[in-house]
Structures are given as structure tokens and as C-alpha cells.
Homo-oligomer: A and B are copies of this chain.
Amino acid sequence: MTLITTPSRDDAAVDDFHRLFDAVAACGAAARGGVERQSASAADGEARRTFAAALEAAGATVRTDAVGNQYGVFALADRPDAPLVMLGSHLDSQPRGGRFDGALGVVAAAAVGAALMRAKRAGARFDADFCAVNWTNEEGARFRPSLLGSGFFTGKHDAAFALSRADDAGVTLGEALDAIGQRGADAPPPLPACYLELHIEQGLHLESAGADIGVVRRNWGAIKVDVRFQGEQAHTGPCPMPLRRDALLAAAYLIAEARAIAERWPGVVHTSVGRILVAPNSANVVPSEVALSLEIRSADDAVLAEAGALGARAIAEAAERANVTVTADRSERPIRQLPTDVCDLVAACAGALGLSHRDLDTVAGHDAISLLGLCPTGLIFVPSVGGVAHNEGEFTAPADLENGLRLCLEAAWRLCRAGGSPERATLAGGPA
């Protein structure tokens, strides 16, 4: 009988990981250590081809669906109806974003798939197949909404909706995917028996606590409001101040008030306006149109509701003070718990590997949140230095990356041998 090594101690997986991580980070590499790799850009196309080539070299079958999600399926179980264990994240970045956000989870998934395939070839037996996934347009920077690819996978959005999202230059996601040869025609795989995502924390809790691994137990709720103020163009010189209908002034009142709302609940409510479009945006013209995105986030249902009501009042008052009209299109992401059985599996794997772990919230949205409630879903964080995120200065130490990789290897190994069941995988322990 062949000796089956524990994949979580597979040094080849660590080498695979670093090699692919560096190759992906080179796609859209920016001057200060980050990446400029917005969804379906040329740099994203390059990263996607690098990912697909690594998957194929490792023995996976690569499928690309109608919205460009890439699935690398490793046939481990040798039966057509085997359940699927899925691991992944996204390769797209924010403008001048970090090289770890998203890419970590995708690259780790490819390395895990390759290690499991090596184990199979060495004689290991599996009761589930494995899929490494790259979701399209997680960031919502170039195309809105965010989580678009994972939202298509779960049926929240249909392909026509996703493909028709347009960037600020009017290019649709469909056109952009065509331009980089990444609009596919393959059927997506079925919902997995278990989905895991490895991500950098983008916050300070792990670093402050000196912990290796974050087990995400809850996601913050978010209220997102697309606000449009409509005023009237006028000359900034002669037009009397009381007659002005200044849409940018309304936006300024709202942005200042949104900050004040967060300050009412320190540490409990986060608010932001990250994006604003102004027309005609000429120095001598009173702005007539402003569109902006207001976000209010909290982990407390009652507080989020109250902050949301204050936000709605702030929008109306800003419009009234600036004598403009307003429309507000509100969407909400509820506060939810992640399933205990998956969290327990992650904690058990961390313990088995001697890694310290800590329960965390996620404030940011992640593709895992798209799948939450539809299948057993887990989200695993590793530390980010200084909590820096959406910034080229984002950094996670190699040892922390490797801890995350080994944890995923351990969890995926157990899951794929346990038919995808988190409960059985938690009990299973190490290699056969």
C-alpha cells in the first residue's frame, strides 16, 4: 500500500502556491506593490489565463460560465454524482488595490486542488470532487453591483443582467469579457456540498490579538443607497446664491452627515461615500447632477435600522437645504451568522495544525456571503499588516499566507474524504 502523506504538510503545495501567487501578482502589477486589475480588464485576462493554465497543468478540467466565472474541477471521487467541495475567491482588484485581496483565495484553491490530485495519484481515496473557483467582478469597482459572478452562480442575477452591467465608459461586462476571450458557454457546476473561502482580514483584530487564523462567524449588515441629486445648471458667477440648485452642495451636506451618523455609534456603525459622479463638472457651472453611493454598515440589527433611518433623513434634508430633488435606491444585505458546523471544522483544522484562531465578524462583503444560506459556507481570514486594504500597501506575511494555505489543505482534504460533510470532516481528523 502506498504511503499517503498529509496534504497539509505537502511542501510542494507551498511551492506551487508561491509560484502561482507571484505570477498572478505580476498581472497588472502597479508601481507601489499593488495591482491595477479591475474586472475583465486586460490584466484580469492575463491573470485568468495564468490561473487556468495552472489548473490544467495540475489535472483539472477548466470550465468558464456565461459571466466568466472560472471553475477548475478536480475529479477526485471517480463517480459522476460525487458531491463537490469548492474553494475560491476572486482575481479582480480595486483601482490601485492590493495583491492579496481575492488572489490569495483563488491561488490557494489551485494549490489545494493540485495537492489533492497528487494525493489521489499516490493512492488516496476521496468521496467528493474538488473545485477551485475564480468569481467574476467581486469588487464592484468597474461594474456594479459587487459579488456579480457569485450572485449569478447562486441565481440572484441572470446572465443577461450581469452581462449588461456597464462601466463608466459604457463598456458592458459582456463586451469586456469578449475582449479578453473570457465569456464562456460552460454550465456552472452544481451548488457545492461545502464552500470555503480564504481571504486576508482587511482589519486589525488578528494582528492585535496575535492570532493566526480568523474563523468568521458573522457578517455585518449593510444598507447601500444609490442617491441621485438633480439640481439645475447655472453660472457660478452671477447666479444669485438663493436661486442656485446645487447638486454637489446637497452631496456635501449628505457626506458630512453620513460621517456624523457613524460617530453616534463609535465602532458599531461604519458609513462611507466612496464614489461620486458630478455633471457637468465644470469650474464655472453650478453642478446639476450628482450620483453617489452611500453605505451604512453594522453588526447590530436595531442600530443598523436606526442608522438607516437617519441616513434616509439625511438624504432628504440635504436635498431640501440645497433646493434640489433626489431619488434614492436602497438595497440591504442582512446581518447573518455563518453555519456553526463549517466554523467548527475550520477551528478543528486550525487546532490540528497548531494554529491559534479567533472568532471574527466580516464587515466587508465576500463571495462566500453570496453562497451563505444556500450551502454550508465558511470564510477564513489570515492577518493583514495594519489592517491596510483596498490600497497598494496591503501586506500579509508569507508565514501567514502559508498558514492559510495549510488550513485550506487540511479542511479540503477532510471534506473531500467525508463526502463534503463538514460534521463528518470535523470528526475525521488527519490523513487515512
Q: Which residues of A contact B (CB under 8 A)?
A: 94-96, 139-141, 144, 146, 201-204, 220, 222, 224, 232-243, 246, 248-249, 251-256, 259, 262-263, 266-267, 270-288, 293, 295, 297, 362-365, 387-392
Instruction: For A241, list chain B residues within 8 Å (CB).
Output: 259, 262-263, 266-267, 270-271
Contact B274 A238, beta carbon cutoff 8 Å: no
Contact A234 B389, beta carbon cutoff 8 Å: yes
CA distance A57 to B423 in the complex (A): 90
Contact of A363 among B141, B238, B248 (CB under 8 A): B238
11 contacts between A and B (CB under 8 A): A94-B284, A95-B282, A96-B233, A224-B283, A234-B390, A236-B270, A236-B274, A242-B266, A248-B274, A249-B259, A275-B282
Contact of A94 among B204, B251, B282, B365 (CB under 8 A): B282
Known contacts being A238-B364, A251-B252, A278-B276, is A284 close to B233, with CB within 8 Å? no
Contact A283 B295, beta carbon cutoff 8 Å: yes
Contact of A234 among B144, B146, B234, B391 (CB under 8 A): B391
Instruction: For A364, list chain B residues within 8 Å (CB).
Output: 235, 237-238, 284
Instruction: For A204, list chain B residues within 8 Å (CB).
Output: 240
Contact B201 A238, beta carbon cutoff 8 Å: yes
Instruction: For A256, list chain B residues within 8 Å (CB).
Output: 249, 252-253, 256
Contact of A389 among B220, B235, B297 (CB under 8 A): B235
Known contacts being A238-B364, A241-B270, A256-B252, is A233 close to B391, with CB within 8 Å? yes
Given contact pairs A95-B282, A236-B390, enumerate 10 new A-B contacts (beta carbons under 8 Å). A94-B233, A96-B280, A203-B239, A220-B237, A233-B390, A237-B363, A248-B273, A249-B273, A251-B252, A275-B282
Instruction: For A222, list chain B residues within 8 Å (CB).
Output: 237
Residue picked from A95, A234, A272, A297, most chain B C-beta under 10 Å: A272
Contact of A274 among B146, B232, B284 (CB under 8 A): B284
Instruction: For A203, list chain B residues within 8 Å (CB).
Output: 238-240
